[in-house]
Amino acid sequence: MDTIECPVCGETVDCNDIELLENGNPACSSCIREESSKQ
């Protein structure tokens, strides 16, 4: 299983768990949930 470090929070997550935010920065699903709840 490939893992990657989330550039936002530093958590080590599965590669499939990384997505792009609206600004184009990669982030894990936890960060993406936090970002979307801020709006």
pLDDT tens sequence across 1-39: 799 999 999 999 999 999 999 899 999 999 999 988 987
**pLDDT of amino acid 30:** 96
| Measured distance between the N- and C-terminal CA atoms of the chain, rounded to whole angstroms | 33
pLDDT in the model for residue 1: 74
SS3 (DSSP) at 37: helix
**What b/e string do you get for 1-39 counting C-beta neighbours within 10 Å, with b at 16 or more?**
eeeeebebeeeebeeebbeeeeeeeebbeebbeeeeeee
> Looking at residue 36, what is its pLDDT?
86
Per-residue confidence (pLDDT) for residue 39, from 0 to 100:
75
Q: What pLDDT is attached to residue 16?
A: 95
Distance CA 21, CA 1 (A): 23
User: What does the alpha-carbon distance between residue 2 and residue 21 come to, in Å, rounded to a whole number?
Assistant: 21
Domain that holds residue 19: 3-38
pTM: 0.75
Q: How many domains does the chain have?
A: 1
